[in-house]
Chain A
């Protein structure tokens, strides 16, 4: 027996001994615990939050969303100019260096943007391919379009348009992204896949004196409650997305501060407009009146969110005075009666079983719809099959959400409300030709009040048509130890760390 035990011990010694990730401990390390694991650092071939957020700490873009999320501010480009016809975009680069000390040249920019817009490996082509010519001239980069396409400019702020060093990428190929080099505030110094990413301050960063912290450790902690425990044990300085019900408790604890921001996200119930009774606008509006959104935000989100007027997040060109459908069960019943459904009807509500918040929302929705005679049977499906199922139109109602990758509303309105387009009004098959026309016009109109008015009109039409039950905009929440100052989640859902300080 003792021999066997010794053998087992020896075997575990060997097994655990191999597990030696490289890391070094410095003073001034900021530890951030988050649930999303970065999978790859190649900007044109990723689409998951963990990868995107980490890439934005390592790489720079020409322009970037400002902290308020309403406009764009200079990134690697110190200034820019858009020709009056919107066909020529000229960027003047600032003096910046990659973390290996080499200068960021206009050629690097041209190389990177071509890679994002033309390279066959790019999953993000559609965001850049209206740009047809790339030119470098002195410290300027000139991009030309054949037809006016206003979103193209905004899309340059997208992570997929990150500027990479041409020489290293061509020399190393895919291996480059194992040890990426960028001009962002931090550089990658260690990566234990599935466990943590270690970042070190970029000594050549173009913003003088930043970042303030020497090193950053992004720890992957999948379970929300485990993240809270980590913060309380002092093993994490910042945690993202604590469980909603624990936030109030956390904020009352000594030495811990909580914060929240409303990102460009919206949650709603898709209605299959091809299936009766959802083909009737009265029924769709009735459902919007029947849901007590305030109660939902209070009871399920613990006040971490706000009621939504439509499925469009409040972003650039949004009409902030647009009112949500009020909670009015009497009006809902009236509309149902008008549609010949005075006794209500039975239906099914599709829910992603892996989404804890949506499971709770579904239970509450079921109760609320029951009040007006709509008997909704909850049907859980595994998240991976959700898209396929709604795309095939095999649903009545489906609890879903959408987020925007850019500050410009073009991406989302096209996806949510335009039909035919990418997803035919997010698989609801709802269609409004006036809105379709406005969408085509908006894309060819330069930024300004005229384009803004088009967006406002589209959102109003969208609200009237009610292809979905509009619910809420959930907040992104975080908690940090009091010694950490300046951490915040941006409306684009990511976080910047160059301004974060740790006091001792």
Chain B
């Protein structure tokens, strides 16, 4: 573990990304303590005010302080991105690993299931789930868990197929090392790196998909200040009050870059020597 931390710290990108995420976390924690504005308090006397010393990011069409809302929204978006990437990634890596390593009917079965889910249009699945359970953050998780593991499974399986034909794996097999041991010791570290690269963009895409669902009224529900929703709800104000869309958009982009940098740091750290 010590070597992991010190190796990670050697990656400039990783450190920068971590720092950016810490900035976001600091804003999330400190804003409720320092800001006088309640992110949900309506004031019809102070609608669509431009950014000022009083309201750093201006106010929206209900006179709510946008800075407090963006800060409160960070919690939702970071949670969504992390949970919706981490859980399906773990599921997908496990499936890909098992399918690729054991091959045969195990592989066929797992990959056909993967194909079915993969072939299913995302929106139909999400809408059905959201329709049955009602649109909410929790139900979005279920939808993403059911869909997002597939990409990882396919990628990891492909990597495993390549790696397991390398001489040292064949050798380990000949030496009758157990399957789980070989997978954990030799294959997993090699196969996981492309999955992490994929996860970088997946985090960003997840938040994007949530925003797109908000566009059709099916994402996180108002008045929750989820960033995508903040932008969708202010599209009509884009020219009158550009700050209403600009700041949530910047927040989205900032954390997107942060995630990408952290992912890169992880990839550099986990990359096996000599590759």
Contact = CB atoms under 8 A, between A and B. Distances in A.
Contacts of A245: 61, 236-237, 240
A231 to B, nearest CB: 13
A223 B215 CA distance: 11
A225 B134 contact: no
A355 B59 CA distance: 22
Contacts of B127: 382
B61 to A, nearest CB: 7
A359 B237 contact: no
A299 B221 contact: no
B236 A363 contact: no
Contacts of B44: 295, 299
B61 A359 contact: no
A384 B236 contact: no
A116 B238 CA distance: 46
B42 A246 contact: no
A208 interface: no
A246 B218 contact: no
Contacts of A295: 44
A347 interface: no
A380 B235 contact: no
A380 B219 CA distance: 10
Contact of A364 (B42, B131, B240): B42
Interface residues on A, range: 20 to 34
A377 to B, nearest CB: 11
A433 B84 CA distance: 55
B88 to A, nearest CB: 24
A243 interface: yes
Contacts of A249: 239-240
Contacts of A362: 222
B105 interface: no
Nearest to A244: B236
B130 interface: yes
A429 to B, nearest CB: 23
A365 to B, nearest CB: 11
A340 B51 CA distance: 46
Contacts of B131: 382, 384-385
B240 A363 contact: no
Contacts of B61: 245, 360
Interface in B118-167: 127, 130-131, 134-135
Interface in A200-226: 223-225
A136 interface: no
A246 B62 contact: no
Given A299-B44, A382-B135, A353 B223 contact: no
Nearest to A355: B217
B123 to A, nearest CB: 12
A225 B236 CA distance: 6
Nearest to A385: B131
B233 interface: yes
Nearest to B241: A245
A382 B134 CA distance: 7
A472 B171 CA distance: 78
A381 B42 contact: no
B30 to A, nearest CB: 26
Contacts of A299: 44, 47
A383 interface: yes
A362 B224 CA distance: 13
Contacts of B218: 353, 382
A281 to B, nearest CB: 29
A243 B236 contact: yes
Interface string A288-319: 00000001000100000000000000000000
Contacts of A380: 134-135, 217, 221-222
B155 to A, nearest CB: 22
A367 interface: yes
Interface in B184-242: 216-218, 221-223, 233, 235-240
B46 to A, nearest CB: 12
Interface in B81-97: none
Given A299-B44, A380-B222, A353 B240 contact: no
A225 B238 contact: yes
Residue of B127, B221, B233 with most partner-chain A CB within 10 A: B221
A223 B235 CA distance: 10
Interface in A350-373: 352-356, 359-360, 362-364, 366-367
B160 to A, nearest CB: 28
B237 A383 contact: no
Contacts of B62: 360, 363-364
B130 A382 contact: yes
Contacts of A366: 223
Interface in A369-398: 378-385
Given A249-B240, A359-B222, A363-B222, A225 B235 contact: yes
Contacts of A224: 236
Nearest to B232: A356
B236 A367 contact: no
Contact of A381 (B134, B233, B236): B134
Given A245-B61, A360-B61, A363-B222, A382 B217 contact: yes
Nearest to B130: A382
Nearest to B214: A353
B174 to A, nearest CB: 41
Nearest to A242: B236
Contacts of B236: 224-225, 243, 245-246, 356
Given A245-B240, A246-B236, 16 more contacts: A224-B236, A245-B61, A246-B239, A246-B240, A249-B239, A249-B240, A299-B44, A352-B217, A353-B135, A356-B236, A359-B222, A359-B233, A378-B221, A379-B134, A382-B218, A383-B217
16 contacts: A225-B235, A245-B236, A295-B44, A352-B217, A353-B217, A354-B217, A359-B222, A363-B42, A363-B222, A366-B223, A367-B42, A379-B134, A380-B135, A381-B135, A382-B130, A382-B134
Interface of A: 223-225, 243, 245-246, 249, 295, 299, 352-356, 359-360, 362-364, 366-367, 378-385
Shortest beta-carbon contacts, A-B, top 3: A354-B217, A353-B217, A243-B236
